[in-house]
Amino acid sequence: MESHPFLTDDLGISQVDENSPIPLYQQVRIELIGMLQSGKLKPGDMLPSEMDLAKAYHVSRQTIRRAIGLLASENHLERTPGRGTTVIDGKSRLKFFLDQSFAEQIISMGLMPHSEVLRKKITTIDGTSPSPLHPKMGSQALELYRLRFGDEFPIGVQYTIIVTDLCPDLHTQDFEKASLYNLLLSRYKLLVARIDHTVSAVFPDEWHKNLLKVTDTSPLILVNTTAYLDNDEPIEVSTSYYRADRYEFSISKNY
């Protein structure tokens, strides 16, 4: 049966904040991402028309078009002339885009993201911290280690250190469901403007083999990232190990 577009009332849309430093199209994008994360919008669902969304958000149709265009470029949505905008199904060949948050990556694969928090500890940036964070020496930080899932399938382990000078209560957030980058943007108005990556392949040690349910001969993708705010200050460094037997990784620059 062909699906029909959601009505805006069914989505519980929140009006944008015109006084926020976050651009209007980004506010719309963030809320739509939240609907994908919560399962309110599922693969195959159709969005309301651009005109109806513009009325619901009290923004221009161009603002909606820009938000939807960005989500389409990130492989969350597909626009079909004469039909509308549809949430994309998972792909047969799963693919990560390293400049998206983990939650966005997993949603674009048609899976539901969630995490198991292995460690959450308030700390201080010092000489033992990753070198990209040394300019923030003495700053408060949060150590966050998570086992990341798509549906019930373990996909990766992430070891993250976040500078929390500008988000001091970050440790109170629920990181079993929350996306770090979306939290930084939506709650703390901190825009991650650049992410640097290095990618290599490693074989798992006993710890990662047990966590990710892989064998000694199954390679892992090792990804080191440093995230910067729009003032070029570092805010987050992470080391991540991902299963490489079923996943294809690529980098898409779109800031």
pLDDT for residue 94 is more than 80: no
The residue ranking higher by pLDDT, 75 or 184, is 184
Q: Which pLDDT does position 97 carry in this prediction?
A: 54
Section 187-197 average pLDDT: 86
Question: Is residue 158 a contact partner of residue 238, using CB atoms and an 8 Å limit?
Answer: yes
Residue pLDDT, tens place only, 56-86: 999 999 999 999 988 887 678 888 877 789 8
pLDDT for residue 29 is more than 90: no
How far apart, in whole angstroms, are the C-alpha atoms of residue 124 and residue 157? Answer: 22
- Enumerate residues 6+ apart whose C-beta is below 8 A from 183: 167, 170, 173
Section 148-171 average pLDDT: 93
200's tokens: 């290599």
Map tokens 């078009």 to a residue: 65
Section 167-193 average pLDDT: 88
Section 87-103 average pLDDT: 58
pLDDT for residue 90 is more than 60: no
pTM: 0.62
Q: Which pLDDT does position 58 carry in this prediction?
A: 93
**Residue 126 binned pLDDT confidence (cut-offs 50, 70, 90):** very high
Q: Which pLDDT does position 142 carry in this prediction?
A: 97
Question: Is residue 129 a contact partner of residue 141, using CB atoms and an 8 Å limit?
Answer: yes
How far apart, in whole angstroms, are the C-alpha atoms of residue 171 and residue 186? Answer: 16
What does the mean pLDDT of the chain come to? 84
